[in-house]
Every structure is written in C-alpha cells, then in structure tokens.
C-alpha cells in the first residue's frame, strides 16, 4: 500500500496541485496558486484599473477584476472555446465566471486547510530549494 504524500511536501518538491472538473460548458483544469502567483494576479488586477484609483470602481467591479485575473492565471486546461479567449473578461456569461471562480475558491480553501493540517517537518527528503546555493545579504 502506497503512503499518501503530505501536501506541503508535494508543493515544496515543485509539484503543482491541480483539480479537474466538469462544467456545463466543458472540462476545466485549475492549479493551486503559489504566493508568487497571487502577487501576479494582484498586479493584473492593478493593470485592469488602468491607473485609476480603486475608489473609482465599485467593490463589485474590483471583485470581477480579481475573478478574471485569477481565472487567467489558474486555469491550465480548458475547452477550445475558452482557449480562444484572450482573457476570462471575454466570456460574457457572468454566472459561469462566478461558477468558475467559486470552484477556484473551494480549491484554494481546501488546499490551504490541508497545508495547515500538514505534518511535514522539513526532514522528509525534499531536494534543496532553487535558492539554496545563493548567498543572501552580506
């Protein structure tokens, strides 16, 4: 019987957590974003405001920007019609975007819960980080 790998160990070893699910508009694959991905998503949200103050937009519009930017980053495979879109913003079905974003939120929350419950103690043979050989500071 194969031992189930600890989720934090899996992520730290460089593997991505992915979830495949079927929708009424086809099958989608999403990946759990790392902190650097979340930063990139927030930068994309900032670009969507085109330099205007956040106060220039409703909370709902900022939430839409965040949903579009997130879906642009976390969807790794999708039906051909979705692949043909330049951005999630090009999908006119608001309810479907909300559904996809809800799937993302459930993936994110369940993965974070698993990470919190992780028993990984750092001694399970994870290879060195990409930065392990770099000297930090002086």
**Residue 137 banded pLDDT, cuts 50, 70, 90:** very low
pTM here is: 0.83
Alpha-carbon distance of 95 to 110, in angstroms, equals 22
Return the pLDDT at 136: 34
Per-residue pLDDT of 76-89, as tens digits, reads 999 999 999 999 99
50 phi and psi angles, rounded to 5 deg? 50, 40
How far is Cα 77 from Cα 137, in angstroms, rounded to an integer?
Answer: 40
| Cβ 18 vs Cβ 78: under 8 Å | no
Residue 121: the pLDDT is 85
Quickly state the pLDDT bin for 3 (edges 50, 70, 90).
low
Long-range contacts of range 69-72, CB-CB < 8 Å, 24 or more positions apart? 69/41, 69/42, 69/44, 69/45, 70/33, 70/41, 70/101, 70/104, 71/97, 71/100, 71/101, 71/104, 72/44
Across the chain, mean pLDDT equals 89
> Which residue, among 17, 26, 65, 21, has the nearest Cα to 44 in the 3D structure?
65
Cα–Cα distance measured from residue 24 to residue 11, given in angstroms and rounded to the nearest whole number: 30
Is the alpha carbon torsion for 53, 65, 106, 14 positive or negative? negative
């Amino acid at each position: 019987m194969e031992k189930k790998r600890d989720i934090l160990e899996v992520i730290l070893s460089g593997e991505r957590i992915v979830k495949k699910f079927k929708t009424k508009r086809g099958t989608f694959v999403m990946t759990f974003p790392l902190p650097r991905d979340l930063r990139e998503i927030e930068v994309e949200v900032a670009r969507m405001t085109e330099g205007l103050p956040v106060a220039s937009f409703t909370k709902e519009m900022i939430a839409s920007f965040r949903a579009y930017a997130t879906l642009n980053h976390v969807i790794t495979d999708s039906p051909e019609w979705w692949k043909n879109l330049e951005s999630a913003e090009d999908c006119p079905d608001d309810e479907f975007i909300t559904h996809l974003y809800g799937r993302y939120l459930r993936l994110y929350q369940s993965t974070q819960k698993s990470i919190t419950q992780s028993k990984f103690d750092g001694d399970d043979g994870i290879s060195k980080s990409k930065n392990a050989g770099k000297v930090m500071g002086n």
